[in-house]
Amino acid sequence: MIINRVNRDQSEKIFASVLNVEGATITVGLPVSLKGTGASIDGVGAVIANAAGDFPGFYGVAVKDIANNDYGLVQIGGFVNSVLISNVGSSITINAGDPLVPGPVGFFSAAPSYANSGFRWLHAASNVPAAVSAAAYVSGLIRML
């Protein structure tokens, strides 16, 4: 685990190393979940949080591309520079401060279910587009409970 302390240029950020067991590259900005359920979670194996079964295991956001079967960093706390948001099949509006939870293609904010995101989510912070009709990137703050 890496913890960047607050300084004059950056807020505090917390990162964890994970092993990508998705079967595909986890790209920057995607939501990441710990792989497994119940006793099979090892705290290392991770997948893209892109299906209903993955959402409760939401762990953080990929800060760089993580190749399949390779280790990489996932940001699990603090201000995140690049968060991929999805239009989830229709045009939506995301405002600064809106909650973002894992969705089928990135994060989304259309009546999110906090229980399905493991009670962890992001607050949209900046670079928020007026309307999202296609995937886009924003900045956000990971809410940790």
pLDDT digits (tens, 9 = 90+) for 13-29: 899 999 999 999 999 99
Longest dimension (CA), the chain: 43
Total number of domains constituting the chain: 1
C-alpha distances out from residue 28 to 63, 85, 129, Å:
5, 12, 19
Structural domain containing residue 48? 2-143
- The structure's pTM equals 0.81
pLDDT digits (tens, 9 = 90+) for 116-129: 555 667 777 676 66
Count, in order, helices (H) and strands (E) of the chain.
0, 10
Give the DSSP letter of residue 69: T
